Amino acid sequence: MRDQFVPPAIELVGLRKAFKDVTALDGVDLVVRPGEILALLGSNGAGKTTTINICATLLRPDAGVARVCGFDVGTQPDQVRERISLTGQFSAVDDVLTGRENLVLIARLRGVPRPTEVAGALLSRFGLAEAADRRVATYSGGMTRRLDIAMSLVGTPSVLFLDEPTTGLDPQARLEVWRTVTELAHAGTTILLTTQYLDEAEKLADRVAILHAGRIIADGTLAELKALFPPATVEYVEKQPTLEEIFLAITGGEA
Amino acid sequence: MKTLRDTQVLFGRTMRHILRSPDTIITVAIMPIAIMLMFVYVIGGAIQTGTNVRYVIYLLPGILLIAVASGCSYTAFRLFTDVQKGILTRLHSMPVSRAAALWGHVLTSLISNLITLVIIVGVALIMGFRSSAGVISWLAVIGILVLFTLALTWLAVIPGLTAKSVDGASAFSYPLIFLPFLSSAFVPTATMPLVLREFATYQPVTSIVDTVRALLTGAPVGHDIWIALAWLVGIIAVAYALAMRIYRRTV
Ligand SMILES: Nc1ncnc2c1ncn2[C@@H]1O[C@H](COP(=O)(O)OP(=O)(O)O)[C@@H](O)[C@H]1O
Ligand SMILES: [Mg+2]
């Protein structure tokens, strides 16, 4: 298998992180293979953002190892930053600038050749060509999020972190983001996306890891997770169990 | 090299912010200009400076310092906005020099404040300000104003990084704007009550104002310039060290 010769895109081993007396991560182990889309599913406060921030070199773990593309996040942050992009839980765009200027800015900072062309191409790809020269302050929530994701694709990073990319968006904008992520998947980008929405994980991800109270309590393909679902309960439902039911069963309904 | 290039790109970004809302520069210039007009035309006639220097020249250095202090509140505000909007976090997750993310703001602060100062000196010229200062003296004046701007800019970085609200971010500048009133900027300290006079004599603004005024009027600067420089370099060193410590902690 080719995978054996390529390091995992993301590899987390025994990751722990506490904020004062709050334990955010309590030993997280996770492997994401190159080109895979993994949804990290968890309710509010489960530790999703903490996990992502450690992977994106923004936070140091108290214990454990995080490697991205084979590089240690703690000791080789520069190599990691060259290969990743982060779309944080809240859009980080400059709303005084136009959409185009935001993209050109990122392209110039990443040292990408021909920044204006790169910006133009991304604007069309994300359906922002018409709004390209308007200030971002005038954009809708969905447009802002798409620009935010477009900014993360400048310089074609091999690993993309999307932290709750659709939280707070209206249904229309949510569909737009879903379409974008699906397209990215075809382009071969490794994506670690976090979500509180079970249907989102179900829709977008190759594999789902459920994070609960700082631990990965289940990790597998949708089919594998469905197999975990207690058969006795399956009798009550005619259709296949949804991820929601699996999630509630595993977490004991306390989520 | 990477740091220089990143700084240049990010400086371009924040300068664009300022050019997009030129009211920032105008708002910053208007308050000191209003104070200058009021003091020169309303109050100034009654003030005995004990020198034969025209009052508009006498008070100009203090006015310039007030302008920088209020200008730097916008520096804190812009940095605060970057922190709040997650822009700093985005930059930190990218292969971008960490120092550049801060120096972009510092340079913008320096340049925008200098623009404001030029506007105010322009108004002062209309009001009759003339200077016999030569090139060297002017360079010294500019140098001192640059150091003063850097000092307040690095001070502004601290609330910019740590504030919890917009108001909190800019509040640090209010006492600084007030400081020239408790100095030799508008009236000689000799007429002040004892406690105030002691404070006014030894606080940094007095030595800076006295130095700039002496340079502008061609009077001997004496050892005031060394006291002023010591204050400025000291404040820059302390504010820079503190700001960088906080910056490294915020990742
Ligand atoms: N900077 C912080 N300071 C203190 N507590 C924090 C901080 N960041 C996160 N936490 C806590 O850590 C836990 C996990 O947070 P987070 O990773 O943001 O969860 P999620 O993104 O899944 O909602 C929560 O209990 C949260 O309150
Ligand atoms: Mg979160």
The alpha carbon of residue B106 is apart from the nearest alpha carbon of chain A, in Å, by: 18
Distance CA B179, CA B192 (A): 15
Q: Is B197 touching A (CB cutoff 8 A)?
A: no
Nearest alpha carbon, ligand 1 atom 6: A19
Residue B81, token pair as written in the block: 């906005």
Distance CA A119, CA A136 (A): 15
Q: Is B86 touching A (CB cutoff 8 A)?
A: yes
Convert the pLDDT of each residue in A31-69 to its tens digit: 999 999 999 999 899 999 999 999 999 999 999 999 999
Distance, C-alpha B215 to centroid of its chain: 18
Are A84 and B93 in contact by the 8 Å Cβ rule? The answer is: yes
Please tell me which of the candidates A59, A86, A97 has its beta carbon nearest to residue B16.
A97
The alpha carbon of residue B149 is apart from the nearest alpha carbon of chain A, in Å, by: 25
Measured between beta carbons, the chain B residues lying within 8 angstroms of A85 are: 93-94
The mean pLDDT value of chain A amounts to 88
Question: Rounded to the nearest whole angstrom, what is the distance from the C-alpha of residue A17 to the centroid of ligand 1?
Answer: 10
- Give the domain range for residue B117: 2-249
pLDDT at A96 over 70: yes
Please tell me which of the candidates A58, A97, A108 has its beta carbon nearest to residue B93.
A58
**Residue B24, pLDDT score:** 79
Are B115 and B75 in contact by the 8 Å Cβ rule? The answer is: no
Q: How many structural domains is chain B composed of?
A: 1
Q: Which of B94, B98, B250 to mutate to test the interface with A (most CBs of A within 10 A)?
A: B94
R_g (Cα) of chain B, nearest Å: 19
Question: Rounded to the nearest whole angstrom, what is the distance from the C-alpha of residue B94 to the centroid of ligand 1?
Answer: 22
Distance CA B161, CA B84 (A): 9
CB atoms within 10 A of CB B229: 16
Distance CA B163, CA B176 (A): 17
Instruction: Give the whole-number percent of chain A exceeding pLDDT 70.
Output: 91
Determine which of A129-133, A182-186, B10-14, B154-158 has the lowest per-residue pLDDT on average: A182-186
The sign of the CA dihedral B162, B168, B170, B175 is negative
Domains of chain A: 2-90+158-251 (3.40.50.300)
Phi first, then psi, for residue A223 (nearest 5°) are -60, -45
Q: Identify which ligand lies nearest to the alpha carbon of A167.
A: 2
**Residue A240, pLDDT score:** 64
Q: Do A57 and B95 touch (CB under 8 A)?
A: no
Per-residue pLDDT band at B142 (split at 50, 70, 90): very high
Question: Rounded to the nearest whole angstrom, what is the distance from the C-alpha of residue A69 to the centroid of ligand 1?
Answer: 26
DSSP alpha helix (H) spans, chain A: 48-55, 77-83, 99-109, 115-125, 141-153, 171-186, 198-204, 222-228, 231-234, 243-251
DSSP alpha helix (H) spans, chain B: 2-20, 23-37, 55-84, 87-92, 98-126, 135-162, 166-171, 173-178, 194-202, 204-217, 224-249
Convert the pLDDT of each residue in A206-249 to its tens digit: 999 999 989 999 999 888 887 776 655 445 545 666 777 777 77
**Residue A234, pLDDT score:** 46
Residue A36, token pair as written in the block: 């895979």
**A190-195, strands of its sheet edge to edge:** A84-87, A159-163, A190-195, A37-41, A207-212, A215-220
CB atoms within 10 A of CB A23: 16
